[in-house]
Chain A
Amino acid sequence: MSAAWLEFLNHVEMLAGFLAAVALFLVFARLQLLAPTPATRLGLVASGLDLLVWLVFGTLWLAGFVPVEPLPGWVARVWDTTYFVPTLWAASIFASTTSLLALGLTLHRGIRPPGPDAATVPGKPQGDEGMHDGRS
Chain B
Amino acid sequence: MEKFEVICGGIASVILLLAVLRYRQHPLPATVRIGAFVLCAGQLFSLAATWVGLERINQLVEGRLFPDDEFNWYLVNGVEVSHEFIFFRSLFNILSQLALAILALGLLRFIHGLVRRQPDAVAP
Contact = CB atoms under 8 A, between A and B. Distances in A.
Tell me if chain B binds chain A. Answer: yes
B51 interface: no
B97 A113 contact: no
Contact of B69 (A2, A23, A24, A100): A2
Nearest to A119: B122
B19 A107 contact: yes
B15 A104 contact: yes
A12 B94 CA distance: 7
A19 B4 CA distance: 24
Interface in A79-103: 86, 89-90, 93, 96-97, 100-101, 103
A65 interface: no
Band of interface residues on A: 35 or more
Band of interface residues on B: 35 or more
Contacts of A9: 87, 90-91, 94
B19 A105 contact: yes
Given A108-B22, A111-B111, A116 B118 contact: yes
Contacts of B20: 104, 107
Contacts of A110: 23, 25
A20 B18 contact: no
Given A2-B65, A13-B94, A30 B121 contact: no
B90 A6 contact: yes
Interface of B: 1, 4-5, 8-9, 11-13, 15-16, 18-20, 22-23, 25-26, 65-66, 68-69, 72, 83, 86-87, 90-91, 93-94, 97-98, 100-101, 104-105, 107-108, 111-112, 114-115, 117-119, 121-122
Given A2-B87, A97-B9, A115-B122, 7 more contacts: A2-B72, A34-B114, A34-B115, A100-B15, A100-B16, A115-B118, A119-B122
